[in-house]
Chains A and B, each alone.
Chain A
């Protein structure tokens, strides 16, 4: 193996083409993964704000928040079940928001911003206790696009109902920047702009269940309550059920998978060519006592080192590339995604390097003579 590494470090130009190709493919993987994560995260902020909780949907809603209607009496019954610490409502609608002070305008453009307006009961790790009537919590994304601060007044809905920003939380983009108010305030604001969008009295779109221990136990507790007509699922399950997430995920995963196949082919082709070049050298190695496994181990070591260099350079180039992209593009570079790309690249390169195993196995040490 050390002989193979010496070759790599002493003849780096020989490996520069494959390293360069892999680097570019890694940049592509990072950007694709970034778009996948960015798109998914930008559609699921409301759910992610309730991570660790359990969501209760109408069992005919196909786990879609807008279609779901759950009686609030269910919340009362669930709240006394063991394994459940608290239950609250969660309602959502899409509307517009603008800055009350016309001189400031919205983002300097004097325009309205599309927002997702949520009504909620329970504080989470991300969301504080619901604000009082006339106040709202906005997320980082709205702060960015509308240049608002705590204490500013924004106008919600077509009736331009003023609310004061009480707090700004992390980016919870859910198809649009989010505005969070108490459930009663939400019903009031929605009723002013679009009365038909308000769920009937005594119903919520979905319920949020805060587990006493784990989400799995809370799901069991809801199922065991025997209420009928509702379905309790985890936040991850709710995200997976979103059509837009499924479509985006399957599309991008397909492209990412194809890119990994290209990495595999690039590495396999490179090592196939380099093995052809080295047939004479490998015959000498075998004649001198090297085993086929040792030669393959050397190739694998080279593949891993090439991958590591390509990953390091590829990540650095990706960071540079992403910094030049317009900020409104839904691209998020997540550490977990980078880890997946790094691991996937190393494994793929290892597999690619082993494609030559059969060829190396068949090299006859007698070729070293004559």
Chain B
């Protein structure tokens, strides 16, 4: 069994000077000929290693596509995407999976916790993928994260036994479990009421900043904008 950081890319995180994300001239085009849709149009974006960028834009503007390309879930049609010092275009599909696991954290819009795993097991699950093993350090890391997220007493609860805010916090813990360089967060407050949304964003901001991790937050919620170091708007696939 290899360690989670061994198989995809340099195990060392990018230095403080190296941007966590560099997108240069990135386009993503779906379909062919007359059916072509340009979801991303020559996007240039740099996110510093400890920066929290808020990405806003109307529906269908390309926010989600930018997130999936930055997160190595989709390949760009053209342009260069670098996460830390790794050019994603150099990685094959297998290495891309391992890269996502080791270097990128995701907080999905619909939370997407595994329904039959406890809160703690949801965090540990990311360590198991790619042939990884749950060792003592992993268990301690999960416990520490849950403690920081205020879920120490909920670690053995299934998602069905957690509130919406608690589920969101577990999802944040899962994203941070492998100590990623870049965390991609999709509409973190869309399913929460305003008070809970505020709490989750405060928590998210604190965790991201404490760890010096870069993050992109995609949102429609204007209240989220205040939590970012910078706000970027995307319209028709192009950054404004």
Contact = CB atoms under 8 A, between A and B. Distances in A.
Interface in B62-114: 64, 67-68, 71, 73-74, 94, 97-98, 100-102, 106, 108-109, 112, 114
Nearest to A370: B64
Contacts of A280: 112
B126 A366 contact: no
B186 A289 contact: no
B98 A369 contact: no
Contact of A366 (B73, B97, B98, B116): B73
A316 to B, nearest CB: 28
Contacts of A320: none
B97 A291 contact: yes
Nearest to B134: A2
Given A11-B116, A288-B125, A365 B102 contact: no
Contacts of B129: 285, 288-291, 294
Contacts of B68: 366, 369-370
A86 interface: no
A285 B130 CA distance: 11
Interface residues of B, number: 28
B97 A3 contact: no
Interface string A260-285: 00000000000000000000110011
Contact of B106 (A11, A287, A294): A287
Interface residues of A, number: 23
B186 A288 contact: no
Do most interface residues of chain A lie in helix, strand or loop, or is the interface mixed?
helix
A294 B128 CA distance: 10
Nearest to B102: A289
Contacts of B114: 3, 281, 284
A7 B106 contact: no
Given A281-B114, A369-B68, A287 B73 contact: yes
B203 interface: no
A157 B100 CA distance: 86
A359 interface: no
B101 A369 contact: no
B73 A289 contact: no
B130 A369 contact: no
A368 B97 contact: no
Contacts of A365: 73, 97, 100
A369 B128 contact: no
A370 B185 CA distance: 11
Interface string A27-70: 00000000000000000000000000000000000000000000
Most buried by A among B71, B108, B109: B108
A109 interface: no
B14 interface: no
Contacts of B130: 289-291, 294
Contacts of A368: 73, 106, 108, 112
B116 A7 contact: yes
A3 B117 contact: yes
Contact of A369 (B94, B102, B106, B116): B106
A6 interface: yes
B207 interface: no
Residue of A3, A285, A289 with highest tally of chain B CB at under 10 A: A289
Interface in B146-168: none
A232 B71 CA distance: 74
Contact of B186 (A3, A285, A294, A369): A369
A365 B116 CA distance: 20
B121 A6 contact: yes
Nearest to A368: B108
Residue from B68, B130, B131 having most chain A Cβ neighbours under 10 A: B68
A288 B101 contact: yes
Contacts of A10: 116
Nearest to A14: B116
A366 B67 CA distance: 10
Contacts of A2: 128
A187 interface: no
A3 B113 CA distance: 13
Contacts of A289: 97-98, 100-102, 126, 129-130
29 contacts: A2-B128, A3-B125, A6-B121, A7-B116, A284-B108, A286-B97, A287-B71, A287-B106, A288-B100, A288-B101, A288-B125, A288-B129, A288-B174, A289-B98, A290-B101, A291-B94, A291-B97, A291-B130, A294-B129, A294-B130, A294-B131, A365-B97, A368-B73, A368-B108, A369-B68, A369-B73, A369-B109, A370-B67, A370-B186
Given A6-B116, A11-B116, 19 more contacts: A6-B117, A10-B116, A281-B112, A284-B108, A287-B106, A288-B100, A288-B125, A289-B100, A289-B129, A290-B130, A364-B73, A365-B73, A365-B100, A366-B68, A368-B106, A369-B64, A369-B108, A370-B67, A370-B186
Across the A-B interface, the 5 shortest Cβ-Cβ residue pairs: A289-B101, A370-B64, A290-B129, A366-B73, A289-B129
